[in-house]
Structure formats: structure tokens, C-alpha cells
Structure 1
Amino acid sequence: MNASEYVIGGLAAVGATIITNPLDVIKTRIQLQGELAARGTYVVPYKGILHGMVTVIRNDGWMGLQKGLVPTMFFQFIVNGVRLGIYSSAVNLQWTKKKNGRESVGLSLFWGAAGGAVGAYFSSPFFLIKTQLQSRAPKQVAVGYQHDHTGMLSALRKIYGEGGISGLWRGSTASIARAAIGSGTQLATFGPVKAFLREQNLVVQPTLNSLCGGFVAGCFIALAMTPSDVVMTRLYNQGLDASGKGLLYKGWLDCFAKTVRTESIYGLYKGFFANYVRLVPHSALVLLFFDELMAFKKRLGIKY
């Protein structure tokens, strides 16, 4: 496996994250508002993407749109570095191709999901911290459980002090499911879409071809991943009792069941449009940056 592919994958994700993090903040808060409450029975401080951004700016200031940026960058570097590195290695070794030499959607899905699952597990503590930092807001617009962290280091010290290493990896099983679904869907659609656009002579310019492939992949991801994203956000943000157990949920299955029971299927798709608007450019930018950085590496003649 080529080590540079892991680094390039991480750098591509960091570049995309700086641009899309404000949408992640809005998505997180929309997913938490009205938690375990029937529709129409709770206050809605974030009524959509634009209204949510205005609300954040008015109450948190402009920097509120970049809450959780540092742990998000760490999370994205690890999860995308690992998943794109594993997937790229699988492609280079031709593990994603059928016997006839054509790309296999099933094999691409498998290696994309495997890479996403591994990356998600190792990056889980940073997703935990970024979720808790992004949800923190002034009382008048606060949603979900409010943690008193002042930054990433503050959160690390507190979470580790209260729960040790296992506390930092709380909810990691939910992160594996989310990343496996998202990564598998993205990578299984990105390559075939790019190939289709080239073969049909629709979009052949390399950079534009990668960009279009990324946009299409992002559409599929938003549909497939939003339910698991809602579950993960709520699991990671919930408060803990004196024994370290969640105040609302016992695990991802319990969170899923309680959300559907109290909020219907609609609850699992809270923040869908914010997630879609974030994922489409994020997916496109990550894969575009990855392709461009890989091409740059080849031009420099770097082999490792």
C-alpha cells in the first residue's frame, strides 16, 4: 500500500472541510432540535439552512459557523485518509475489478465501506468532540444536551477524565455504520459515474469529470447516510449519568427505535437538506482534490 495515498486522502478532506463546516454546524443543530418530541410540540430555532445560518450569526457571531472546525479537520483527515487510501490501494491492486476487467460496483462498494469503517473507528473521538462543540449555543437557541467544553483540548481532558479511553470511543459502533454506508455509496458511484460520462463523451475534461462524478456521488450519499448520521449525532451529543451511561439512549439501535417511535421516519431525516447541501460539495471537493493531488504527485514522480 502506498503511504502517500493516505496522506493525500486526508489533505483532500481537510481542504473540503474548511469550506463546508458551516453547513455541518447547521445540520447538527437541526438534527438535535425537537429530539424525542412529536412534530409541532417543540420550538424550532433553526427553520432551514439560511435561517439557521442567520440564527447562528446573530447569537454566536460569525465564528459560530466554524464551531468544531479543528476536531472536524482531525476527523476528516483520519477517516478520509484511511478510506481513500484503502480504496485507492484496492483499485491499484485491481481488487475492484471483475474477471473481464471492468469495474465492479459490488467490489467498489465493499472496499469503500471497509475503508470507511476502519477510518471511522480510529477517528471516532474527534467526531464526538466536534458534535458536542457544534451543538453548544446560547440558551435562547440551544438544542440538545449542552456540554461546557471551551475547545478541543478542553473536551479531550473532560471526556478522558470522566470515562478514560473507552469514553473517547463512546458510540464508535454508530460511527462505523455511518461511515461504511457513506463511504461505500460514495466510492461505488464516483468511479462508475466518471467512466459513464467519459464513455458517453458527455464530460471528458479530467477536472470537470471528477467534479461531476463527485456531485452525483454526494446525492446518493445524502439519501443513504442521513438516518445513520442523525443517530450518530444524537448518541454522541447525549449527556451521561453518574455511572457514565447515556441519559437518553443505550446504543445506536435504541436511538434508532426511540427516534422512529416518537418522531416517525421524519425524525431520521432531520437535517436532510443541510446534509445534502453539505455532502454534495464536500463529496465533490474531496474527490476532486484527491484526484488533483494524485495527479500532482505523479507529475513530481513521487512513488511513496
Structure 2
Amino acid sequence: MDFLVGGVAGVGAGFFSNPFDVVKTRMQLQGELRARGQHAVYYKNIPHAMYTIVKHDGIIALQKGLVPALWFQLVVNGVRLGIYQQADNHGLLRDKQNNTKFLNSLLFGCISGMSGAFFGSPLQLVKTQLMSYSSDKIAVGTQHAHNGMFFALSKIYKKNGLSGLWRGAHGMMMRNSIGSAAQISSYAVCKEWMDNNNMFQQSKYLSAFVASNIGALVKTVWLTPMDVIMTRLYNQNVDASGNGVLYKGIIDCAQKITKTEGIPAFYKGMGPSYLRQAPHTVLLLVFWDILKDLQKKITNESNIIKNEKRLKS
């Protein structure tokens, strides 16, 4: 049940944050392996990017890749939050005073994030390629003419087999391990501190709201460089053997970006990334708290009914 709760929370958050993910993906691919000033700038900032996408591709294009994005959220957050909650249930995250151990939270946030990323990687691969596909007038990066999620998965599998579906997974796993550790640990510690100091007593979910915003900011700062690398690895074209045409791996990608685009390129799309992460993290973690409370309530009521039946018998 912990895995289902985490997955449902992720799906709820993913629907609202998807347009910013589309903008972020386009901005991260813009000027790929070209020095600043030597490429067309189709997406100047977030509002301009949204306007440009709607103008050339239509308003529905802001929800490109939504289907694999929601499946990705279900899988990744189901595994990630499920593993983290299981660690908490088994007493691995708290001390004798029931306070969160920051390093333990960081460790299991990392492990759970990496695990979720592995299982969700094929969906992230397809999602990235669907989001980057656009009108020729505003195209950035390699363009993959997929007709949908299942068509894309089938096409990639037929061309490169199972290994093709997990291409770039190592980048995704590293990205998610960093992002998950930063997000969950900062959220847990901040929320706990506010609850222990009796802040936001008018609603227990207000502390979750504030803590999740802090978690989103911390996650964005740590996540963006690996997010850029992951986007490039997923979106590049491949040869007949399934090897990337532009990048051999994480280190090669990082080196080429540094050499041609400079260090600031690792923070391309940070604005839309935060605007995606903020509502996504808030909705995800608040939904998670609400669903966990609902799960506890249902479990307690079920136990009460079972005890009453046992006493009557």
C-alpha cells in the first residue's frame, strides 16, 4: 500500500507540473554543443517559451509527453516513496525521540530515488523525446517523430532491444539519487522542526506546504546540472548498435557541454525547472501526507471493526 500511495501522489502532482517540464526540456536542448551567441534562441525565458510553443505547436503541446510522464510518476514515486516509507516503518530513519536522522534520511532518499529511476527510465526516455519534438521553425536537439508512448516504446525496442529502452538510465539514476536525497531529507527535517516548534497549528498541512517549497528549492539547485545531462543523453540519436551519436556517457557529456557551452550551460532551464519542481514537490509531498493519513485512518477503522467482531464472537 505504501508503494501505491506514493505512486498516486506522484500522478496527481505530475499533471499540473507537466507544462513546465516541456519548457525545461526545450530550454535544456537549446544551443546543444554550440557556443553562446552561435545558435538561434527560440526560447528566451519561461513566458516567451510558452508563447512560442503555443504559437507554433498549439496549446496542447504544453502537455506533450503527459501520458508517459504520469506513468513515470506512478512508477518512480511509487518505488521511491514506498521504499522510503518502508525504511521509516522499520525504524531506520528516526532516533529514540522519534526525530528524523538527517544522514539516514539522506541515505534512504538516495537509495529510493536511484531505485525508482531504474524502473522508470524507459518512460523518462520516451517522455523526453516526445516533449522535445516540435515544429521545424522552433526545433531544438534531435527530433524523434513518435506518434505516442506505446509507438515510441515499440520503435525503440525493435531497433535496439531492451538495452535501448534503458539507454541513459545511469544518468537518470544519478540525477534521481541526488534530487530525491535533497528533496526528501530537507522536507522531512524542515517539516519536523516546524511541527516540533508548534508552527502553523491552524492546519498540519501548512507545515507540509512550507517544507515542500524548501525541498523544491534545494532539489532544483542540486538537480539541474544532472538534469541537463540526463536530457541530453535521452534525446540524442543513436547508431545501429544503440550507442549515442553525440555522447558516450555522463562524463563525456559533461566534458563536451563544458568545452562548447561553458559551465553556465549546466543550469539551462533552471527557471522552469524550479517552477516545475515547486508545484510538483508541494503537490507530491502534501498529497503523500494526506494519503498516508487516509491510509492510517482506514487501517485503524479496519482494526477496530475486527476487534469488535472478535469480542462479539
What's 1:247 paired with?
245
What's 2:42 paired with?
45
| Deviation by residue 1:226-283 (Cα, 9 ceiling, x = unmatched) | 0000000000000012332211000111111111111111111000011011101111
Amino acid at match of 1:233: T
The CA distance in 2 between the partners of 1:248 and 1:212, in whole Å, is 41
- SS, match of residue 83 in structure 1: helix
| Deviation by residue 1:149-195 (Cα, 9 ceiling, x = unmatched) | 11101101110011000100001111110000011111111111011
Decide which structure has the larger Cα Rg and report it: 2
- 1:238 pairs, out of 236, 244, 249, with 236
What's 1:155 paired with?
152
- 1:13 pairs, out of 10, 14, 17, with 10
The CA distance in 2 between the partners of 1:87 and 1:20, in whole Å, is 23
Q: Does 1:166 align with 2:163?
A: yes
Q: Relative to 1, partners in 2 of residues 1:202 and 1:100: Cα closer, same or farther, differing over 3 Å?
A: closer
The CA distance in 1 between the partners of 2:115 and 2:240, in whole Å, is 31
The CA distance in 2 between the partners of 1:276 and 1:95, in whole Å, is 30
| Deviation by residue 1:25-61 (Cα, 9 ceiling, x = unmatched) | 0000000000011111111101111111111111111
What's 1:285 paired with?
283
The CA distance in 1 between the partners of 2:83 and 2:121, in whole Å, is 18
Residue 99 of structure 1, CA deviation: 5.6
The answer as to whether partners of 2:99 and 2:192 remain within 8 angstroms in 1 is no
What's 2:90 paired with?
93
Amino acid at match of 1:221: K
What's 1:132 paired with?
129
The CA distance in 2 between the partners of 1:144 and 1:169, in whole Å, is 20
The CA distance in 2 between the partners of 1:38 and 1:99, in whole Å, is 55
Q: TM-score, normalised by structure 2?
A: 0.93
The CA distance in 1 between the partners of 2:212 and 2:279, in whole Å, is 8
Alignment of 1:207-246 (within 5 A): 207-246=205-244
What's 1:81 paired with?
78
Number of residue pairs aligned between Structure 1 and Structure 2: 301
Structure 1: which 5+ runs fail to align?
none
Q: TM-score, normalised by structure 1?
A: 0.96
The CA distance in 2 between the partners of 1:280 and 1:94, in whole Å, is 29
- 2:262 pairs, out of 248, 264, 270, with 264
The CA distance in 1 between the partners of 2:242 and 2:115, in whole Å, is 25
What's 2:172 paired with?
175
State the 4+ residue runs in structure 1 displaced beyond 4 angstroms.
none
The answer as to whether partners of 2:182 and 2:218 remain within 8 angstroms in 1 is yes
- 1:104 pairs, out of 101, 104, 110, with 101
The answer as to whether partners of 2:160 and 2:241 remain within 8 angstroms in 1 is no
What's 1:30 paired with?
27
Residue 101 of structure 1, CA deviation: 4.5
The CA distance in 1 between the partners of 2:109 and 2:262, in whole Å, is 30
Percentage identity across paired residues of the two chains: 45
The CA distance in 2 between the partners of 1:122 and 1:199, in whole Å, is 36
